[in-house]
Amino acid sequence: MVTVTAQTPIREFTASFSRDRIAVTAFAVLCLILLAAIGAPLISPQDPYDLAQLDILDSKLAPGAKAGAGFTFWLGSDDQGRDMVSAILYGLRISLGVGALATVIALALGMAIGLISAYAGGWLDSLIMRLVDLQLSFPSILIALVLLAVVGQGVDKIVIALITVQWAYYARTVRGAALVERRKEYVDAARVMAFSTGRIVFRHILPNVLPPLIVVATVQVAHAIALEATLSFLGLGMPITSPSLGLLISNGFAHLLSGRYWISFFPGIALLATIVAINLVGDRLRDVLNPRLGSHYGT
């Protein structure tokens, strides 16, 4: 229960969030995954991309087999004799990194465009919203594929593709929320105080449109990670020098028919766990940050 004396927004938010056991578990799993990804060089048994540490005699070993170097391949090894645990931890780093980077940039971009759209109104607003509608009427994978077909491959290219796919969601969300906020009394009050438009938008409206934006962003991070994996699997995403989870799964595809399931299976489980955890946390965030309940946030 929430104590009445300590009613700060953050505390209330934490208390409200932790009322759902599944969401708390998902959050814990997500933190573990993040820690594992960040600490990959420290906790993985080998550096999977240091060729000196790989032994071709260890290749395609089943889960639980002993490596020549002494440690155990708990999740097996791939065709290069690479430990799958290490490969997955390093792959998580890349997948999460790309997903998060693309989301942050798309968030900033979408937020700016949405705020401009809401505040400018008129033809600019309708032009931007037409563009958003047009883009959202096509599946994201198609847009990303076209873009990658046009600009070619590379880490920067895939980040650009993910941003292009995502910005429209944020722009629409921010515009909708900002249109509601700007009609409220505190904005009138700020205007009476002769604050500049910039100050009203960034200091007053922005904090109040953040809650719905955070919810959309959580879901979009999961989408971005899944999309990057799919594109990498199709051979149009990450280059071979940045082996994300999607590339690991793609690599295992070649060995699937000979029964060596672990090269594709375990990276997929890591991907699935990440996406499910993010989605469950996002679901709970949506309930907690619901505008009807969240009167304590912002100003």
Partner 1 sequence: MLAFAIRRLLQSIAVLFVMSALVFVGVYAIGNPVDILINPQADQAEIAAATRALGLDQPLWRQYWSFLAGALAGDLGKSFAANIPAVQLILERMPATLELALGAMVIAVVLGIPLGLWAGLRPDSVSGRVIMAGSILGFSLPTFWVGLMLIMVFSVWLGWLPPTGRGETVKVLGVTVSFLTWDGLQHLFMPALNLALFKLSLLIRLTRAGTREALAQDYVRFARAKGLTMERVVRVHVLKNIMIPVVTVTGLEFGSLIAFAIVTETIFAWPGMGKLLIDSINVLDRPVIVAYLLIIVLLFVLINLIVDLAYTALDPRVRLAGRST
Q: Least distance to partner 1 from the beta carbon of 272, Å?
A: 6
Contact, 246 vs 228, CB < 8 A? yes
Residue type, 99: G
Q: Which is nearer to partner 1, 268 or 298 (CB)?
A: 268
Q: Which is nearer to partner 1, 89 or 231 (CB)?
A: 231
Distances (CA, A) of 253 to 77, 82, 152: 14, 16, 23
Q: Which is nearer to partner 1, 69 or 124 (CB)?
A: 124
CA dihedral of 140, 145, 147, 152, whole degrees rounded to 10: 150
Residue type, 75: L
Q: Which residues lie across from 73 on neighbouring strands?
A: 65
Would you tell me which residues interact with partner 1 (CB under 8 A)? Answer: 134, 137-139, 141-142, 145-152, 222, 226, 229-230, 233-236, 246, 249, 252-253, 256-257, 259, 261, 264-265, 268, 271-272, 275-276, 279-280
Q: Least distance to partner 1 from the beta carbon of 217, Å?
A: 17
Contact, 100 vs 221, CB < 8 A? yes
Q: Which is nearer to partner 1, 145 or 180 (CB)?
A: 145
**173-206: b or e for each residue (b if 16 or more CB lie within 10 Å)?**
bbbebbbebbeeeebeebeeeeeeeeebbeebbb
Q: Which is nearer to partner 1, 202 or 253 (CB)?
A: 253
Show the tokens assigned to 39.
Answer: 């600490």
Q: Least distance to partner 1 from the beta carbon of 65, Å?
A: 20
Q: Least distance to partner 1 from the beta carbon of 93, Å?
A: 18
Q: Which is nearer to partner 1, 178 or 280 (CB)?
A: 280
Q: Which is nearer to partner 1, 174 or 227 (CB)?
A: 227
Q: Least distance to partner 1 from the beta carbon of 95, Å?
A: 11
* Residue 65 DSSP SS3: strand
Q: What is the largest CA-CA distance in the chain?
A: 76
Residue from 222, 279, 251, 288 nearest 82 by CA: 251
Number of Cβ within a 10 Å radius of residue 109: 16
Q: Least distance to partner 1 from the beta carbon of 183, Å?
A: 23
Residues 245, 92: Cα–Cα separation, whole Å = 6
Q: Which is nearer to partner 1, 170 or 233 (CB)?
A: 233
Contact, 115 vs 206, CB < 8 A? yes
Q: Least distance to partner 1 from the beta carbon of 4, Å?
A: 33
Distances (CA, A) of 92 to 55, 207, 219, 228, 243: 23, 32, 18, 12, 9
Q: Least distance to partner 1 from the beta carbon of 224, Å?
A: 12
